[in-house]
Amino acid sequence: MPQPLASVNDFVVKFANVNGSGSASANRLFARAIQRMGIPATPRNIFPSNIQGLPTWYEVRVSEAGHLGARGGVDLMVAMNPQTWDQDVAAIDAGGYLFYDSTRPIPRARLREDITLLGLPLTEICNREYADPRERQLFKNILYVGALAALLDLEIPVVEALLAEQFKGKEKLIAANLHALHLGRDQARAHLPCPIGLRLRRSDGVGDRIFIDGNSAAALGAVYGGATVAAWYPITPSTSVAEAFERYCRRTRIDPATGKNRFAIVQAEDELAAIGMVIGAAWNGARAFTATSGPGISLMQEFLGLAYFAEIPAVIFDVQRGGPSTGMPTRTQQADVLLCAYASHGDTKHVLLFPQDPAESFAFGATAFDLAERLQTPVFVMLDLDIGMNERLCTPFAWDPARRYDRGKVMGFDELESGRDFGRYLDLDEDGIPWRTYPGAHPTRGAFFTRGSSKDRYARYTEAGAAYADNMQRLTLKFETARGLVPHPVRHDAPEGSRIGVLYYGSTSPAMDEAAELLAARGTAVDCLRIRAFPFHDDVAAFIREHETVFVVEQNRDAQLRSLLLIEAEIDPARLKRVLHYDGTPITARFIAEAIAENLALSRIAPLRKATP
């Protein structure tokens, strides 16, 4: 047997559970307790498209160094699901640990010799302790948290405090949970070699960071950004955006005088109606959004073209999942980039924002409304399941009290009354952005007809080629204006600089940051540029020019952002190398570092033809 793994504050624990067994809150309790000890811990929920019965996993990466991306591999498996036993046991790294329910004897053939076995008869203990079947199930989860606390040196008072916060006001529940927790701890201490080689030690690595999922953060961004109308259709993994929006609105948007709502949320009959309502509301001067995923974006195509061409603001949160078609509804990908960038028929282009974590989901969630109204066009906030549905440590949300909404170019009653020339599609400021009016603004001025068909600068229907081309060119100019308004890319160069550059975006961020460290440790320093928006800032093309070799790291099969770069920044395809991860699991630092190292090694081998004299 290899040496058992030994590590302080740097390991991966994976829980294998049955969906619907109540394990999620116990697992979360475990992760939260580690964070409360000041140690960065990042959980990831790996769940099926199912309510009850199918396998589900919860992975907690403990990283004193603060690496928040998925690592890959498992050091300690908490195997609570007989259905997936064999694959779970096989997944453990050599020298790792297996914690399991030993109530029923497990044949040697289904165990491994190169790992440490930590069996505790959890079912037997629960059956002895609890009469009610539901209690047996729920407290089994708390029982294993107690056992893990003993095995890993997790501070019991921290867990106790979290339980007290969770069940505040329900003293009976607190007592029952504490009992199970202590029982688990005591049983482990009595029967298992506590602590094992993997240990937790109080640290100060968490700081003032907050812990939240990207969907909730985006929804809070929409609240702060002044969204009043939300129209949506339930779809995994975006549903919790709308739900969180409602939750935050109920807390912060009730009119104190009347008790009435300063918001309207409609669960639409489908995604077509959802985006239709958003467009109707935004046309009428309200800030409106929808939240959806790839299949919903597919359904919204016609309306998105209307919003582009008729120039109506709209904010769309796209929480991307594995495609195509129904694809992998509960797995993550960045595979809607091209779908959103060029949504709808005809010549269209849309503004995309790529948040890296919940903090940016909040910030971009608010800014998207300013951009949409300033530019009078749809703005997509491109989350994915990894950011959206997993809680993550991130910098606290910030809001400048002096900040005012940018409502864009709107002529009100006074300007219309003063006789200022109003043409809905007139480019008065030469930035491609016309002025608009809200319905009902003035009795005799400012009314116009909004349509998806071609029109002249005064919104009059026309199929004249010159007027059509004039309008399309103005839309191109407007997209150029957008380039200067969207969030700029963020650059991190190697200390000495490098001839190798890496482009990445969105949820790839923590894995890429870590991969850069791994590569540097191997002697291959890389410069990194994180793209945060489309249209691309000029710095992106400059970065590509400055580097001999440039990798584009993405979580899709077809290198969609690379394609977008080739088309929009007119980059030579030979200049951009693909690093692609698309099996539905979050990309890892190990994967990126391997892929880049392998590619660089290959490119160092001289071509055969040259080698032959």
Residues that bind other proteins (CB under 8 A): 208-212, 220, 223-224, 226, 228-229, 231, 252-253, 255, 258, 260-266, 268-270, 272-286, 288, 302-303, 306, 396-401, 403-405, 437-444, 447-453, 461
The DSSP-derived string for 489-503 is PEEE--TT--SEEEE
User: CB 96 → other proteins: shortest distance, Å?
Assistant: 31
Is the peptide bond preceding residue 324 cis, with omega within 30 degrees of 0? yes
506 Cβ contact list (under 8 Å, min separation 6) = 334, 354, 355, 356, 382, 383, 384, 387, 555
User: CB 306 → other proteins: shortest distance, Å?
Assistant: 6
Q: Which residues of 338-366 are buried (b: 16+ CB within 10 A; e: fewer)?
A: ebbbbbbeeebbbbbbbbbbbbbbbbbbb
Nearer to other proteins, 100 or 233 (CB): 233
How far is Cα 519 from Cα 40, in angstroms, rounded to an integer?
Answer: 22
How far is Cα 12 from Cα 6, in angstroms, rounded to an integer?
Answer: 12
User: CB 529 → other proteins: shortest distance, Å?
Assistant: 29
User: CB 411 → other proteins: shortest distance, Å?
Assistant: 13
Closest CA to 135 of 100, 179, 91, 166: 179
How far is Cα 488 from Cα 382, in angstroms, rounded to an integer?
Answer: 15
How far is Cα 458 from Cα 605, in angstroms, rounded to an integer?
Answer: 62
Do residues 587 and 67 touch, judged by C-beta distance below 8 A? Answer: no
Nearer to other proteins, 289 or 504 (CB): 289
Do residues 65 and 49 touch, judged by C-beta distance below 8 A? Answer: no
386 Cβ contact list (under 8 Å, min separation 6) = 44, 332, 507, 586
User: CB 432 → other proteins: shortest distance, Å?
Assistant: 22
DSSP state for residue 98 in the 8-state scheme? E
User: CB 214 → other proteins: shortest distance, Å?
Assistant: 13
Nearer to other proteins, 52 or 444 (CB): 444
Which strands make up the sheet holding 500-504, listed edge to edge?
A: 490-492, 527-530, 500-504, 549-554, 576-580
